[in-house]
Amino acid sequence: MAEIALETHGLTMRFGGVVAADRVDFRLQARELRCLIGPNGAGKSTFFKCITGLQSPSEGEVWMRGIETTGWMPHQVASLGVGIKTQTPNVLDSLSVHENVWLAARRFHGAREADRKTREVIDLLDLGAIAKDGLGRLAHGERQRVELGLVAAGDPWLILLDEPAAGLGAEDVERLTGIIRELNRQATLVIVEHDMQFIRSIAETVTVFHQGKVLMEGHVDRVMSDPVVRNVYLGRKA
C-alpha cells in the first residue's frame, strides 16, 4: 500500500454561526498532485489553514505521514518538511531575493549548505537577474515566483499552495506549470486554484468544495462535466 501523505478526519471549522469547513474527510497518497476547487467562500482556504496550523480546527483530526498534527503551530508543521504558500502573498519585503531564499534554506541546512541551496533554487526558478533586488520592488509575478522559491528551498515532501496562479499572466502561468511539475517529482502537492485551464494542465484528480463540504472528488474531466458541479461552480460564470 502506498504511503498516505495527508489525511483529515471530520475536519470542522466554525466562525460563530458560519461553518467554513464541515466534517471534511480528505486523503492523499504520497507523490500525488491534487487540486482543490470551489466557488468563492467554499472553505478551501479555511481547510488549508487548518492543515498548515494557521488556524486551529474546531473539531476533527489532521494526520501527516502517520503523525497527528491537529492543532500544531505553523512552525511545527513546516518543520516536518511541509512547504506552504498562503493565498495572500507572504514574503520578506525589504530583504533581497537572495536573503529571502537563504532564510528559507537555512532552516533545514547549515549556513554553508544554505548558500549552496540558495544558488540552486535561484537557478531553478530563474531568479538570477533579480537576486539582489528587494522584494518590495518586484512585479507581482516575480514575487509569486520568489515565494515558490521559499517553499522549494526547504526540500519539502508535502507542498500546500493556495492560489499560486492568481493574478499571473499567461507566460508566468506557463513557468509556474513547469515549476510545479518539477516539484512534484519529489513531493506531494495540494493546490487551491480557480484557473480551470491551469488545473487541467497539471492535475488529474480534483476535489470540489462547496459550502464547507467536499462535494465531489474524481478525475478532472468527469468532475468538470458533472451537472451538479457545473451548477454550483461553473454555472456562476455562465
Partner 1 sequence: MPGGLTRDAVTIALVTGVLIWVLPLIVGTYTLTVLAIYGMLGLSLGLIWGFGGILCFGQAAFFGLGAYAYAIFAINIGESTVPMILAVLVPAVFAALLGAMMFYGRLGDVYLGVITLVVTLILYKVVNSTAGPQYVIGNARLGGFNGIPGFPTLNVPGTPDAYIWGDRYFHVCAVLLGLVYMLVTALLRSSFGRIAVGIRENETRMSLMGYDVRARKTAMFAIGAGIAGLAGGLFANWAEIVTPSLFSLGQSAEIIIWCIVGGLGTRLGPVLGAAGLAYLKFLLGQQAVIDNALVTGLVLVLFVLFLPKGVVPALSDLWSAGIGRIRPGRIGRRRQPRRRGWPNG
Ligand X SMILES: Nc1ncnc2c1ncn2[C@@H]1O[C@H](COP(=O)(O)OP(=O)(O)OP(=O)(O)O)[C@@H](O)[C@H]1O
Q: Is 86 in the site for partner 1 (CB under 8 A)?
A: yes
Question: If contact means CB under 5 to 8 A according to the sort of partner, which of Mg ion, ligand X, partner 1, none does residue 67 touch?
Answer: none
Strand order in the sheet with 213-219: 82-85, 158-162, 188-192, 33-37, 205-210, 213-219
* CA pair distance 168, 176, nearest whole angstrom: 9
* Residue selected from 182, 221, 225, 231 as contacting partner 1 according to rule CB under 8 A: 182
Q: Number of residues interacting with partner 1: please give it, by CB under 8 A.
A: 40
User: ∠37-72-70 over CA atoms, to 5°?
Assistant: 65
Residue among 108, 92, 112 nearest 100 (CA): 92
Three cell numbers, residue 201: 494542465
Instruction: Count the neighbouring beta carbons within 10 Å of the beta carbon of residue 50.
Output: 25
Q: Is 52 in the site for ligand X (CB under 6 A)?
A: no
Q: Is 46 in the site for Mg ion (CB under 5 A)?
A: no
Question: If contact means CB under 5 to 8 A according to the sort of partner, which of ligand X, Mg ion, partner 1, none does residue 181 touch?
Answer: partner 1
Q: Is 150 in the site for partner 1 (CB under 8 A)?
A: yes
Question: If contact means CB under 5 to 8 A according to the sort of partner, which of ligand X, partner 1, Mg ion, none does residue 41 touch?
Answer: ligand X
Q: Is 31 in the site for partner 1 (CB under 8 A)?
A: no
Collect all residues with Cβ–Cβ distance below 8 Å to 13 and sequence separation of at least 6.
19, 20, 21, 43, 46, 47, 50, 55, 57, 58, 212
Residues that bind ligand X (CB under 6 A): 15, 18, 20, 38, 40-46, 87
Residues that bind partner 1 (CB under 8 A): 52, 54, 73-75, 78-79, 84, 86, 90-95, 98-99, 102-104, 106-108, 111, 119, 122-124, 126, 128-129, 131, 150, 154, 175, 177-179, 181-182
